Chain A
Amino acid sequence: MGVQKDRVRFNVGGRVFETTATTLANAGRNSLFGAMFDENWDLQSNAGTTTTEHFIDRNPDCFAVLLDLLRTGELYIPSNVPEKLLYREALFYGLLDHVRAAKWGPFDGNMLLLARSIRGLAPGDGTAIRASPDGGCCVAHGSMVHIYDWMLEEHHPISLDYQRVNDAVWVNLENIVISACERLGRDEGGIGLFSSLTGELRYKFRVSHENQVKSYTGGALSFNSDYKLFSSCKGRSNEYGIGVWDQVTGKQVDFFYEPAGWSLGEADKLQWLHGTNCLLVATLFPRKDNCYISLLDFRDKSMVWLWSDIGAPLTDERRVRDAIAMEETHSVCVVNEYEDLGFMDLRRSVGSVRWSSRSRLMKGKMVDEPCYPKLALHEGQLFSSMNDSISVFSGPDWVLTSRLRNSYGGSICDFSIGGDRLFSLHSEENVFNVWETRPSPVM
């Protein structure tokens, strides 16, 4: 025998390829090949006879790469094939998802390689960078939010009519929520849901107090798996607190007013904790003179945990610059200006910081224009940015295991992890870097 029954012959742009229906089946039903060999189209019956040749009027070089991808599951792009061309061809065949999945591996903070540096158009400081679920990102700059897909192609930017953007979150692949400053005298600002594909505004999230719609400044954002959106809100007249909306309907469902002597309405960071169903709210120096970190339980409108440095001796080493809750270890991690990490136990109702002074060496070596450190957590790895590098801490004792550094672009003002990629936004040049996990070795 030896003759494979399912042999298929293609003529792509003049080059003949032979493969098997089995290989093509890897493309899935929602692809050109899936449809082509569906029984409806009746092409498979004569697939066995090698005499029939299916002609496809496309680029043969790209076809070769994609066919190899279907055969091996790995993507190898020869230098003579521009990536963009390959993406276009993959889109034609309906194989773009396959390409994306094969392009970079599952995220591991200790295996990262700098994949690309992207230069933006606008000069000056960026506000925030946020990774999208599929490996794209958005960069907030002043009143603009630039959107990049996973191919790092820039899409239609979102312009907020010269209001400053404060924060942005990807609700899903198609939608981004952006919070912006209020503008005096106009009913503008607040929070809006935008399409990431077209950049258009879908709807706005309104805040009303005593049945009156009020204008406000939207601050830090977060959302939970229950389709609720949370935002720090600063109203015109003492309406400070955390607003809660239903993402699906856009209706306001709750508002947690800021208690006297505390800060919620101008928070730097919100983080939803899935395990305890609470929201971490952190307001930090220099937005306020003091730092306030608390955990809110919306079910009974209570602050279940809180910490503040009011009254504590304010040396620079004790200034908290960012905070992140780590649910697995029931703790909150904070960082100071010198990238010293501190930990607080969430199981005690009032927190106190246990500093681990690891990097005293940094003192006195500060660059001229420092950016404040930022923290991120991803699958048991803790990331902390400092000047132009990002430190990766792993294991139960948070040992420094890697440091990501790229001399170009200056200090890192923000970074974000998502879609198995890490994005860092640099302050001096308008550039952001994309880090991906190295491909695994052949053997």
Chain B
Amino acid sequence: MSSGPKKRNFQIEAFKHKVVVDPKYADKTWRILEHAIHEIYNHNASGLSFEELYRNAYNMVLHKFGEKLYSGLVSTMTFHLHTMSKSIEAAHGASFLEELNMKWNDHTKALQMIRDILMYMDRTFIPSTHKTAVHELGLNLWRDYVIHSSKIQPRLLNTLLDLILRERTGEVINRGLMRNIIKMLMDLGPSVYQEDFEKPFLEVSAEFYRAESLEFIECSDCGDYLKKAERRLNEEIERVSHYLDAKTEVKITNVVEKEMIANHMPRLVHMENSGLVKMLLDDKFEDLGRIYNLFRRVADGLSTIRDVMTSHIRDTGKQLVTDPEKSKNPVEFVDTLLDKRDKYDRIISLAFSNDKTFQNALNASFEYFINLNPRSPEYISLFVDDKLRKGLKGEKEEDIEIILDKVMMLFRYLQEKDVFEKYYKQHLAKRLLSGKTVSDDAERSLIIKLKTECGYQFTSKLEGMFTDMKTSQDTMQGFYAAHAAELGNGPTLVVQVLTTGSWPTQSSITCNLPAELSALCEKFRSYYLGTHTGRRLSWQTNMGTADLRATFANGQKYELNVSTYQMCVLMLFNDTDSLNYREIEQATEIPSSDLKRCLQSLACVKGKNVLQKEPMSKDIGEDDAFSVNDKFTSKLRKVKIGTVVAQKETEPEKQETRQRVEEDRKPQIEAAIVRIMKSRRVLDHNNIIAEVTKQLQSRFLANPGEIKKRIESLIERDFLERDDSDRRLYRYLA
């Protein structure tokens, strides 16, 4: 053969002996698999060979019959689900759910086995064709042909809702079955559970609780109603934990909260004879705790309770502080306040879980009404005086601390803390000078508390008083050590040297002391001035005390404990038997008001009348005559003769204190204004007022009118000036 173009044109023939696939291969194989699926659904799987089925399914996919396998699966499964659906529909009454549950179990088991056989298809054919995986397909078909069948869907819902209603009315239902059915709905996907059960369930529940709450509220009081609401709420939470989706809990509790609580809040709180006020009055901790816990769940719930509590505390508090009866006894007044605070503290800690907002409301309410009575600072100081003077004798250290802590609580509410300071200073001075402080520790502890509350400035003078007491003791020791020899058997003098300014001393005229004493006093003066240079001593005879030994005509001996004034008067009677008022006044030079009080206590108090008066009357007249009461007797050897003093301040005294306080405030306000202006240079009127008020808050509530006056005064003294263009602006002049 010659070479030619044709010869090169040889071809390699395709391999003709094609593997002939049996044309019926797919059908045959599918029939085997179909039969197996039927057997699986008929609980007849034990005769099947898994390996064979797996291989057949594999081969079908391998030979590109995946589509046939998949569609065959869909139709076979659909066929069985139709049958199942029929049998579920046919179930009567109560057996309906059981039948549904049984068939569901059958289906899921079958589905698992089918998936096992078709595992290869699931892994290869389905992802590349974006089809639904076998397991999900089985769930979707079950949903479409069983759960959403027109004869099953409404019946299922009604059965479930009916069972829940029956459980709500006290019947016992098969919770295990319920759980299985609900679990099935959840397995079918969140949307199935929500649409086919949860939504209608919430609607029906809302209706149920709406009706029930109306019925309850008509026939029960607030406490009982809340008990019922709480029980219902717990029941629903328990129901969710037993057989519903955990996510339903919030939704169903919201329904109960809204229907049973939120919709009836005002009515419940203000219910007559059982509402919140009644609970507060009767200390119903349990009920209060319940109302708190329930109302906390709804919007505005707590603020409703808080508002009612606040207005109740304010109203009762206002009554309390403005009640003139209560004001008569300051100790009782403060005791009542403390009791009231304890009561509400207990309520908040036991029932309101120490809610900060409630504590704040309580504090605000107390602050509001305590300051309604301008004498509150004085009363609180008197209360402390009472406790530190004698009341604490029997009390333990811890108790003192507790009481002082409580007092500090009240102190915090005071707006006029400087007024308190004024009174406290007076009372402390009296306690210290008369030696009636029972516990130095308690006194100091309170000072420390005040210091932490208001700062060093507030207590520096109070601390100064304590220092004076201490140095006085040392001074006296030094004095007696230096003069031991010459003093001998004379009267004993105890001097307390008080620093001017630290003590609430009034400049008073020194009375004439008896000769024995004035000599002694002179000695002390020269001793003291000898040891301290550049000081001045003046005697405060109005504040001292004396112990006298008296022998009466009948031979009876007594020790008399009297004030310095009283001593001066009594010493006059060593020389004569009878003196009239004017003679006494002349001899002693005691101010007349003090002298009158002093004589009153010596002559007019029954059982302590060491003097007798002519004429016998309660009041002291300018012409009255006095003589030693020889018939004086007393069961005690030591007789304490008090001075007739009003514990509470009298009206003019009060005015005076008030005035002093106002006077003291002026420099403080001015200092604040200057401090602020120094840093701000220019500020308008309203802002100055605001800042000054803020700065002084810890001491007192500054009056805007007063601040304005202080500003005017500072302008006059060229500390500030008004701006030329804007009259509301102030400028600081350096």
A-side interface residues toward B, CB under 8 Å? 30-32, 35-36, 38, 40-43, 54-57, 91-92, 94, 174, 195, 197-198
In the complex, which residues 106-160 of chain B have their Cβ closer than 8 Å to any Cβ of chain A?
Answer: 109, 112-113, 116-117, 119-120, 123-124, 127-128, 130
Q: Note all chain A residues with C-beta closer than 8 A to B653.
A: none
A-B contact pairs, 18 of them (CB 8 A): A31-B119, A35-B54, A36-B54, A38-B112, A40-B45, A40-B109, A40-B112, A41-B45, A41-B116, A55-B51, A56-B51, A56-B55, A57-B55, A91-B124, A92-B58, A92-B120, A94-B119, A195-B130
Per the bound structure, the CA–CA distance linking A43 and B49 in Å amounts to 10
Per the bound structure, the CA–CA distance linking A54 and B51 in Å amounts to 8
Interface residue B79 (Cβ < 8 Å from any Cβ of A)? no
Per the bound structure, the CA–CA distance linking A57 and B50 in Å amounts to 12
Per the bound structure, the CA–CA distance linking A36 and B54 in Å amounts to 9
Residue of B nearest to A41 (CB): B50
In the complex, which residues 340-379 of chain B have their Cβ closer than 8 Å to any Cβ of chain A?
Answer: none
Is the CB–CB distance between A36 and B119 below 8 Å? Answer: no
Chain B 79-121 against A: per-residue CB contact (8 Å), 1 yes, 0 no? 0000000000000000000000000000001001100110110
Is the CB–CB distance between A40 and B116 below 8 Å? Answer: yes
Residue of B nearest to A97 (CB): B123
Per the bound structure, the CA–CA distance linking A94 and B128 in Å amounts to 16
Is the CB–CB distance between B128 and A32 below 8 Å? Answer: no
Q: Note all chain B residues with C-beta closer than 8 A to A54.
A: 51
Most buried by B among A43, A56, A92: A92
Q: Note all chain A residues with C-beta closer than 8 A to B686.
A: none
A-B interface, 6 closest residue pairs, ranked by CB to CB distance from nearest:
A35-B116, A197-B128, A41-B50, A40-B113, A36-B50, A56-B51
Interface residue B687 (Cβ < 8 Å from any Cβ of A)? no
In the complex, which residues 13-61 of chain B have their Cβ closer than 8 Å to any Cβ of chain A?
Answer: 45-46, 50-51, 54-55, 58
Is the CB–CB distance between B128 and A198 below 8 Å? Answer: yes
Q: How far is the CB of A21 from chain B (nearest CB, A)?
A: 15
Q: Note all chain B residues with C-beta closer than 8 A to A92.
A: 58, 120
Most buried by A among B51, B113, B130: B51
Q: How far is the CB of B161 from chain A (nearest CB, A)?
A: 35
Number of A-B contacts (CB under 8 A): 46
Q: Note all chain B residues with C-beta closer than 8 A to A56.
A: 51, 55
Residue of A nearest to B46 (CB): A42
Per the bound structure, the CA–CA distance linking A55 and B117 in Å amounts to 16
Q: Note all chain A residues with C-beta closer than 8 A to B120.
A: 91-92, 94
Taking a contact as CB atoms closer than 8 A, the residue among A43, A94, A195 that contacts B50 in the complex is A43
Is the CB–CB distance between A35 and B51 below 8 Å? Answer: no
Q: Note all chain B residues with C-beta closer than 8 A to A57.
A: 51, 55
Is the CB–CB distance between A174 and B127 below 8 Å? Answer: yes
**Known interface pairs A41-B45, A41-B113, A197-B128. Does A36 touch B51 (Cβ–Cβ under 8 Å)?**
yes
Q: How far is the CB of A153 from chain B (nearest CB, A)?
A: 13
Is the CB–CB distance between B46 and A197 below 8 Å? Answer: no
Q: Note all chain B residues with C-beta closer than 8 A to A94.
A: 119-120, 123
Known A40-B45, A41-B116, A55-B51; 11 more pairs at CB < 8 Å: A30-B119, A32-B54, A32-B119, A35-B117, A35-B119, A36-B50, A40-B116, A42-B45, A56-B51, A94-B123, A195-B130
Per the bound structure, the CA–CA distance linking A92 and B124 in Å amounts to 10
Q: How far is the CB of A51 from chain B (nearest CB, A)?
A: 17
Per the bound structure, the CA–CA distance linking A312 and B119 in Å amounts to 63
Is the CB–CB distance between A35 and B128 below 8 Å? Answer: no
Q: Note all chain A residues with C-beta closer than 8 A to B55.
A: 56-57
Q: How far is the CB of A30 from chain B (nearest CB, A)?
A: 7
Is the CB–CB distance between B123 and A91 below 8 Å? Answer: yes
Per the bound structure, the CA–CA distance linking A38 and B111 in Å amounts to 13
Per the bound structure, the CA–CA distance linking A94 and B57 in Å amounts to 13
Per the bound structure, the CA–CA distance linking A249 and B123 in Å amounts to 26
Per the bound structure, the CA–CA distance linking A43 and B113 in Å amounts to 13
Q: Note all chain B residues with C-beta closer than 8 A to A43.
A: 50
Per the bound structure, the CA–CA distance linking A371 and B123 in Å amounts to 41
Q: Note all chain A residues with C-beta closer than 8 A to B128.
A: 197-198
Per the bound structure, the CA–CA distance linking A30 and B115 in Å amounts to 10
Per the bound structure, the CA–CA distance linking A42 and B109 in Å amounts to 13
Q: Note all chain A residues with C-beta closer than 8 A to B51.
A: 36, 54-57
Chain B 370-407 against A: per-residue CB contact (8 Å), 1 yes, 0 no? 00000000000000000000000000000000000000
Q: Note all chain B residues with C-beta closer than 8 A to A197.
A: 127-128
Residue of B nearest to A173 (CB): B127
Q: How far is the CB of A155 from chain B (nearest CB, A)?
A: 10
Q: How far is the CB of A85 from chain B (nearest CB, A)?
A: 14
Residue of A nearest to B40 (CB): A40
Per the bound structure, the CA–CA distance linking A54 and B50 in Å amounts to 10
Residue of B nearest to A202 (CB): B130
Residue of A nearest to B128 (CB): A197
Q: How far is the CB of A269 from chain B (nearest CB, A)?
A: 32
Q: Note all chain B residues with C-beta closer than 8 A to A174.
A: 127
Q: How far is the CB of A97 from chain B (nearest CB, A)?
A: 10
Q: Note all chain A residues with C-beta closer than 8 A to B123.
A: 91, 94
Q: How far is the CB of A171 from chain B (nearest CB, A)?
A: 15
Per the bound structure, the CA–CA distance linking A30 and B112 in Å amounts to 11
Most buried by A among B46, B50, B109: B50
Q: Note all chain B residues with C-beta closer than 8 A to A198.
A: 128
Q: Note all chain A residues with C-beta closer than 8 A to B50.
A: 35-36, 41, 43
Residue of A nearest to B129 (CB): A198
Q: Note all chain A residues with C-beta closer than 8 A to B46.
A: 42
Is the CB–CB distance between B116 and A38 below 8 Å? Answer: yes
Q: Note all chain B residues with C-beta closer than 8 A to A42.
A: 45-46
Residue of B nearest to A195 (CB): B130
Q: Note all chain B residues with C-beta closer than 8 A to A36.
A: 50-51, 54, 116
Q: Note all chain A residues with C-beta closer than 8 A to B113.
A: 40-41
Q: Note all chain B residues with C-beta closer than 8 A to A32.
A: 54, 119
Per the bound structure, the CA–CA distance linking A197 and B113 in Å amounts to 27
Most buried by A among B46, B116, B124, B128: B116
Q: Note all chain A residues with C-beta closer than 8 A to B45.
A: 40-42
Per the bound structure, the CA–CA distance linking A92 and B55 in Å amounts to 9
Q: How far is the CB of B407 from chain A (nearest CB, A)?
A: 54
Per the bound structure, the CA–CA distance linking A31 and B46 in Å amounts to 20
Q: How far is the CB of B61 from chain A (nearest CB, A)?
A: 10
Q: Note all chain A residues with C-beta closer than 8 A to B117.
A: 35
Per the bound structure, the CA–CA distance linking A195 and B130 in Å amounts to 10
Q: How far is the CB of A371 from chain B (nearest CB, A)?
A: 36
Q: Note all chain B residues with C-beta closer than 8 A to A38.
A: 112, 116
Q: Note all chain B residues with C-beta closer than 8 A to A35.
A: 50, 54, 116-117, 119
Per the bound structure, the CA–CA distance linking A35 and B116 in Å amounts to 5
Chain B 295-333 against A: per-residue CB contact (8 Å), 1 yes, 0 no? 000000000000000000000000000000000000000
Per the bound structure, the CA–CA distance linking A92 and B119 in Å amounts to 9
Per the bound structure, the CA–CA distance linking A139 and B109 in Å amounts to 45
Per the bound structure, the CA–CA distance linking A38 and B112 in Å amounts to 10
Residue of B nearest to A94 (CB): B119
Per the bound structure, the CA–CA distance linking A409 and B193 in Å amounts to 60
Per the bound structure, the CA–CA distance linking A54 and B113 in Å amounts to 18
Q: How far is the CB of B299 from chain A (nearest CB, A)?
A: 31
Residue of A nearest to B110 (CB): A40
